[in-house]
Chain A
Amino acid sequence: MILALVVVTALGFDFTNGFHDTANAMATSIATRALRPKTAVALSGILNLIGAFLSVEVALTVSNAVVRIQNPDGTPKESLTADGGTALLLIVLAGLIGGIVWNLFTWLLGLPSSSSHALFGGLVGATIAGLGWAGVNWNGNGSKLDGVVGKVILPALISPVIAGVVAAVGTWLIYKLTVGVAQRFTENGFRWGQIGSASLVSLAHGTNDAQKTMGVITLALIAAGDWTDTGNIPFWVKASCAVAIALGTYLGGWRIIRTLGKGLVEIAPPQGMAAESSSAAVILASSHLGFALSTTHVATGSILGSGVGKPGAQVRWRVAGRMVAAWLITLPAAAVVGALMWYLGSFVGGVAGAVVIFALLLVLAGAMWLRSRVTPVDHNNVNDEWDGEQPADEPRVPAGTGAA
């Protein structure tokens, strides 16, 4: 029963992960109208699906980076698997709920925060609540980049800067090199370049992020005694995670797409191409070097960089500041939610406790969804001007009559 709730919640997290991160790959292509909004999210969704299926490698030890609930070979700690694994399942469930709640909340505010940070934050919080401070892997053991500091905090500080520098240099070079070329040539050419580089980001996202959820679900299965092979993932887990992230991506987090595509910088096709190439290169290079990072931080850094690199472009630093603030509190905030959920769940106890916190998640998610309907952002108005009042009586195609 608890296991079923964990699996459903994990897939739910995967889904929010997808729609939270659509913006990372596609915000620029949508903003420059290289792709129609619906086409962009469909393309990104398909590439995420493919990417998720490509990840044959097992990411079972994903939680080891931040918490100590697993042995190095991926099996859960024995102390947590007594009693049918309830202790471990409750930690994982509370952690996942923390991640989802924070993902939805930042989506409501239109802020691109990191889904991996939300997941790690939720797990850290639930672990502190369940096992105490010593249950968290803060600093690793000093032999490699590890722990909350090494895998989460340092990359979050460094990666946006790297991506920003690369994108700024790229943008600057592109503008320098195409001086004197007619606009119809540059616009068209760079639109294609942009679509290609954005597709690469989507594919990389699918392989990286879906893997995390697959690892979490498999860990839960092992803890409950329903799976024993630490070298493989059940096929249904892989398939359902792939579908969940792809559906989430296709649904599109329009609020976040709007912030990234229109809020930070007015993006022209050459900038879009520079930003996405920078994202793709930084993401691939760091995963090659085993340097964990968040797609969100990289994409945001790149877009900012493309604004810095274009002569005369304006960057809305106030919006950027709000984003950075959201990044800083993502881990602790998701941790607080995760911890609260664990306390509540263990206070009620057993299966009932898990049901109660799951129900609470549904209530919170429903409330935030209802709140989002007050000021809807979808594929019809995602590209509206950022500044300036939108007159209320402006003739606009009502939602529902579009291509939906």
Chain B
Amino acid sequence: MSNLGFALEGAWKVLAAGLILGAGLPALFALGIRALAFGAGGDAEVNGGRPHRTGKVMAYALFAIVILGVLLGITFIVASGFGKTISFEHIVPTIVDK
């Protein structure tokens, strides 16, 4: 296979991972902020409304997912510094030798 083939093969994977993590996590974060505003009620939203407790709970759940994603990123940086990488083979990310 030529260099171009290898590059395109890699590019698809990077694009897919990028969309899930790079656009998906910010979208969850945005949802979290929306939920937070929903939870605060009043002038936090353009159309007003009463405060909702569920909004707050949802918001923090969403933020927790985002933080997990970020932790995964940090783990990967640190692991690759030590010559390790993260394997997604068993769904749950595990640190393995490169």
Interface residues of A (CB under 8 A from B): 51, 54-57, 139-140, 142, 144-147, 149-150, 154-155, 158-159, 162-163, 165-167, 169-170, 173-174, 177-178, 180-182, 184-186, 189-190, 193, 196-197, 200, 203-204, 207, 270, 273-274, 277-282, 284-291
Q: In the complex, A145 Cα to B46 Cα: how many Å?
A: 52
Q: Smallest CB-CB separation from B9: which chain A residue?
A: A145
CA distance in complex: A173, B25 (Å): 11
Give B residues with C-beta under 8 Å from A: 1-4, 6-8, 10-11, 13-15, 17-23, 25-27, 29-34, 36-37, 40, 43-47, 66, 70, 73-74, 76-78, 80-83, 85-86
What are 6 A-B residue pairs whose CB atoms fall within 8 Å in the complex? A145-B3, A149-B3, A167-B23, A170-B23, A174-B29, A277-B21
Give min CB distance, B31 to chain A, whole Å: 6
Main SS of chain A's interface residues?
helix
B54 shortest CB reach to chain A, Å: 16
| A51 touching B77 in the complex, CB below 8 Å, given contacts A185-B33, A193-B26 | yes
**In the complex, how many angstroms separate the beta carbon of A297 from the nearest chain B beta carbon?**
13
Q: By the criterion CB–CB under 8 Å, are A145 and B29 in contact?
A: no
In the assembled complex, the Cα of A200 lies from the Cα of B6 at a distance in Å of 27
A55 engages B22 (CB within 8 Å): no
Extra contacts, 20 of them, besides A189-B32, A284-B73 (Cβ < 8 A), are: A54-B77, A54-B78, A56-B81, A139-B3, A140-B3, A144-B6, A166-B23, A173-B30, A174-B30, A177-B31, A180-B46, A181-B46, A193-B66, A207-B77, A273-B26, A274-B23, A277-B22, A277-B25, A282-B22, A284-B77
Choice from B7, B17, B30, B36 contacting A177 with Cβ under 8 Å: B30
**Chain B residues, Cβ within 8 Å of A288:** 17, 76, 80, 85-86
Chain A nearest CB from B9 CB (Å) reads: 9
